[in-house]
Structure 1
Amino acid sequence: MSVILPFLSGFVAAIIGIFPPGLINMTAAKVSVTDGRRRALVFVLGALLVILIQTYISVIFAQYINKNEDVVVLLREIGLAIFTIISIYFLFFAKKTKPQLDKKNIQLKSKRSRFFMGMLISAINFFPIPYYVLVTITLASYQLFVFQSMSIYSFVFGVVIGSFSCFYCYVVFFEKLKAKTDYFVRNMNTIIGIITGLVAILTLINILNYYYQ
């Protein structure tokens, strides 16, 4: 259980954080359309390498922060605000957006190494570090995660597999899903909004328990 739960937590956290249309997954879809599925998967592998490193750094950073209770409470409050904003966005505003793949935009030269392109684009995205710091600290506050080697590796592996699953969907199914974008994105945004809303409520309860215990 000490291995399975962190893996599942990392997997779900990655799905929530990566599935909404963003720079990396939309670029992976662009590469798939312009250069083929194989080159797109090479691009994804480069992105995953950076994500793995970023996630590991995040968990180690969270481990040190977790030893200072005042900092942990502050991060919970920040996390509460972030999760609340994310929930409001996905439930009420994100429904109006839909991922578009404009082939007239940046032309991807096939001679470039897609692997290093994936690493570069993933490296300029700093969102995973604070995101996974908040996730692991929140999980640890509910005794759902412990900062031990096996749990850390399992969580990181879960994030990598979850990230790959999202990227693979964009690479393989984007053209098929494009015709059903409105329905697909609308429902996924609602699911993400509900999940982050529940996390926000649980975080609020945790904060209130700390101040009134």
Structure 2
Amino acid sequence: MTHLLILFFVTFSAAFMATVPPGLLNMNAAKTSVEKGKLNGIIFSFGVSTMIMVQAYVAVMISKFLYKNPEVIDMLLKIALGVFAFFAIYFFFKAKGNKKSEPKEVKVSKKNSFFKGMLLAALNLLTIPYYSGLNAMWNKAGWIKFEPKDITTFVVAAGAGTFSVLYLYTFYFNKLETKTNRFSKNSNYILSVLMLILLIITLIRIFYS
């Protein structure tokens, strides 16, 4: 039970931090809330979180398949290494070149807001490699064992972490809007440092294995 709590916390935190910087998903959640009402913003956020959970599950299945083939375990760690290196550089330069974020124009109706959220989330192709990399790290740390309860915890935590941020954007964007540039820049630097730490940990594990 203890490892499930740890798994939920670290996955929730990783999903939360990855969703914090203003981008297409959270800015559209805020835009939907302002234009169509907070309930519609929540429905949109549920759509996004549902797709994130699907993508997190796919990421787990990819990792599980690779771990069933011992000859590719080293390759998986190297893939995780590449993923963390990419995100460390990506978030660093995103912070350096930070500009004021504006919500992109996306027409959302009450009828299709849930599916619009799912569609926009599906367009983010970085989600699966991100969660695959995290999954490889959690597996090495002994926090996930590819059992149904572990996989469920990982997937639910990914969705919950994402939804929490979108919920905050939906209800409190007006208060955050005046601080968007500073908020975005600082959160991207934090994410860059986090990815660098995971990169170093993965290097150490590869070296000692």
| TM-score normalized with structure 1 length | 0.87
Aligned twin of 1:2: 3
Q: Does 1:130 align with 2:144?
A: no
> Following TM superposition, by how much is the alpha carbon of 1:92 offset from its aligned partner in structure 2, in angstroms?
4.9
Encode CA deviations 1:111-152: one digit per residue, 9 max, x unaligned.
Answer: 652112112222232322222122111211122221111111
What is the CA–CA distance in structure 1 between the aligned matches of 2:124 and 2:89, rounded to whole Å?
A: 23
What is the CA–CA distance in structure 2 between the aligned matches of 1:88 and 1:127, rounded to whole Å?
A: 14
Encode CA deviations 1:163-213: one digit per residue, 9 max, x unaligned.
Answer: 111111221222211111232223212221221111000001111112xxx
What is the CA–CA distance in structure 1 between the aligned matches of 2:163 and 2:30, rounded to whole Å?
A: 13
Aligned twin of 1:83: 84
Give 1:46-61 correspondences, 5 Å limit.
46-61=47-62
Supply the AA of the counterpart residue of 2:130.
Y
What is the CA–CA distance in structure 2 between the aligned matches of 1:23 and 1:131, rounded to whole Å?
A: 17
What is the CA–CA distance in structure 1 between the aligned matches of 2:110 and 2:158, rounded to whole Å?
A: 30
Aligned twin of 1:196: 195
Question: Aligned Cα RMSD in Å?
Answer: 2.0
Check 1:51–1:109 CA distance in 2 against 1; reply closer, same or farther (3 A cut): closer
Unaligned segments of structure 1, at least 5 residues: none
Q: Does 1:169 align with 2:158?
A: no
Supply the AA of the counterpart residue of 1:90.
F
| TM-score normalized with structure 2 length | 0.89
Alpha carbons 2:91, 2:192 under 8 Å: kept: yes
Aligned residues: 208
Unaligned segments of structure 2, at least 5 residues: none
What SS does the corresponding residue of 1:52 show, helix, strand or coil?
helix
Give 1:31-46 correspondences, 5 Å limit.
31-46=32-47
What is the CA–CA distance in structure 2 between the aligned matches of 1:193 and 1:107, rounded to whole Å?
A: 29
What is the CA–CA distance in structure 1 between the aligned matches of 2:186 and 2:4, rounded to whole Å?
A: 31
